[in-house]
Amino acid sequence: MSAFRFPPGFLFGAATSAYQVEGAWNEDGKGESIWDRLVHQHPDVINDQSSGDVACNSYHLYQEDIKILKDVGFHFYRFSLSWPRILPTGHANVVNEAGIHYYNNLINGLIANGIQPVVTMFHWDLPQPLQDLGGWTNPLLANYFEDYARVLFTNFGDRVKWWYTFNEPKSIALGYGMPLGFAPNIPTHGHGEYLVMHTVLLSHARAYRLYEREFKETQKGKMSIVALCNWIEPKTYSEEEEAAAERARQMHNGWILHPIYSTAGDYPPVMKEWVAKKSREKGYLRSRLPSFTKEEVEMVRGAWDFLAVNHYTTFFTYQGKEGVSIVPDCDVCMTQDDNYPVAASFWLQVVPWGLRKALNWIAKEYDSPPIMVAENGFSDHGGLNDTARIDFFINYLRELLKAIHDDHCHVIGYTVWSLMDNFEWISGYTDNFGLYHVDFNDPNRKRTAKKSARVFSEIIRSNEIPAEFLVNKSSL
């Protein structure tokens, strides 16, 4: 098979999330989420003081979204469900029928147009009443998440065959770590992140086991968590630096993946060791990393049908006392390498080969599971002739193909972030990731294809990277 061809049956899709595109933040019985609360009470934490109150107005314009997905030729659409739109109190005692109706329309519209729904249950917009009970630091949220999952499987499981429980647990933890501005913006660095991840992992497993017990046999769907898996490369090579980078991989990526996908289960041994050591050094009487019971290790281990990762960039590391990082206690500093261009988002350095390395690391660590790239994308400051985005996609896809053909990684699909420009969290509308431009000054939020949308049409239609896009890219 040509090095530029995708395997037969390879799936292409595009992604969005509820808070970033839906708008209608308080319509038809929707409850308040932690992002609604944050942008209304602290608009200053958002770069352009904007909000997702209207965003792309997909709540009213979802048919436009289906149309543009079809125009490109995507096989699936990855979108998320807003928990407070479905359960306004967060609890399953009150189901908002208008919310169920909206998602039924979207799901049915996609299927009618030959596009598979790929559904994220939680993409960061926690119902505020659950935050008032402690948010993800409260272990009992696992009960409420299981109840929410039951409502979803019951209402949508007859048609939804691909489920993601949580999008990027590490970014959820970020809302409790550094004072960066991510909701709920409760900086409890060094403690909060660990508690949050613990509840999220248990919640994931509870939803997975519920599905397995009561729904899988009839509904026949597949489930995964979505882990952010950027690559971590030592800045200068030595055995010590490689060991430190590997520790960082385990503490950033293995933190989420090891408990679910490794044969042993539980947190990575080096992470347990390191957090315990650093806790002792700081005078704590116990490790700040919570521990799983034996039963919990077993419940979480193996709670997967495939492995979904978001990948954007590579961080270059060196050993040293960290300033503030998403993962405390690692003693590895993350920097960028001046040789690579940076997108509009300051953290997004364009390093295509990092994708290949990340896929290989996952295959080796977790015994070659089927991998879905659930997000990959590039931000700029606008413009329809988005050649830098096109270069990004072509070069990352080439590395993905090397992972498939040369390294035999089992990659089943690829998802573009994002279908259209949208509310980019604390960057507001300043960083644009879309294949489609959205006119945020137009009440109709007109969507217009960028050049990259056309490139994807061609890739999907031919199931390969067409030769015309390969010119002069051999140096990358």
Question: With contacts defined by CB under 6 A, how many residues of the chain interact with ligand NOJ?
Answer: 9
295 is annotated as an active-site residue: no
List the one residue from 22, 233, 266, 375 that touches ligand NOJ (CB under 6 A). Answer: 375
Residue 233 near ligand NOJ by CB under 6 A = no
Catalytic residue among 32, 64, 365, 375: 375
Cross-strand partners of 228? 310
Catalytic residue among 22, 168, 193, 399: 168
Q: What is the closest distance, in whole angstroms, from the C-beta atom of residue 169 to ligand NOJ in the complex? A: 11
Residue 168 near ligand NOJ by CB under 6 A = yes
Give just the sign of the alpha carbon dihedral 261, 351, 19, 108.
negative
User: With respect to ligand NOJ, which residue has the nearer C-beta, 237 or 346?
Assistant: 346
168 is annotated as an active-site residue: yes
Q: What is the closest distance, in whole angstroms, from the C-beta atom of residue 77 to ligand NOJ in the complex? A: 15
Of 246-305, which residues contact ligand NOJ (CB under 6 A)? none
Cα-to-chain-centroid distance, residue 384: 25
Q: What is the closest distance, in whole angstroms, from the C-beta atom of residue 431 to ligand NOJ in the complex? A: 7
HSE-up of 283 (CA within 13 Å, CB side)? Answer: 0
Residue 310 near ligand NOJ by CB under 6 A = yes
Q: What is the closest distance, in whole angstroms, from the C-beta atom of residue 386 to ligand NOJ in the complex? A: 16
Residue 58 near ligand NOJ by CB under 6 A = no
Q: What is the closest distance, in whole angstroms, from the C-beta atom of residue 124 to ligand NOJ in the complex? A: 7
Of 77-136, which residues contact ligand NOJ (CB under 6 A)? none
Residue 17 near ligand NOJ by CB under 6 A = yes
Q: Is the distance from CB of 429 to CB of 445 less than 8 angstroms? A: no
Residue with tokens 């500093």: 333
List the one residue from 64, 246, 424, 464 that touches ligand NOJ (CB under 6 A). Answer: 424
Nearest to 121 by CA among 143, 152, 160: 152
Q: How far apart are CA 6 and CA 69, in angstroms?
A: 20
Residue 167 near ligand NOJ by CB under 6 A = yes
User: With respect to ligand NOJ, which residue has the nearer C-beta, 77 or 469?
Assistant: 77
Q: So which residues are the catalytic ones?
A: 168, 375
Q: Which residues bind ligand NOJ (CB under 6 A)?
A: 17, 20, 167-168, 310, 375, 417, 424, 433
